[in-house]
Amino acid sequence: MSTENNAQQSNEQLKAQKLFAQWRKDETLYKEDEKNSENQTKKDH
């Protein structure tokens, strides 16, 4: 029972870590895009 519980818990942690990693990636990409578009705007004017 407790072994099963631990497995379940680590599985949940793994899922959370994956989600977090995905979120971090998206966040970074978004910030990069923002920087890039800012640079574009400066060049255009």
**Token duo for residue 41:** 């705007």
Location of structure tokens 């004017």? 45
**Token duo for residue 10:** 């680590």
Cα separations in angstroms, 33 against 28, 37, 38: 9, 6, 8
Tens digit of each residue's pLDDT (9 = 90 or more) over 1-45: 678 889 999 999 999 999 999 999 998 888 888 888 888 877 766
What's the CA gap between 34 and 40, in Å, rounded?
10
Residue 45, pLDDT score: 67
Residue 1, pLDDT score: 64
* Statement: the pTM of the whole predicted model exceeds 0.85: no
Residue 12, pLDDT score: 96
Residue 21, pLDDT score: 95
Query: What are the start-end ranges of the H helices in the chain?
Result: 2-44
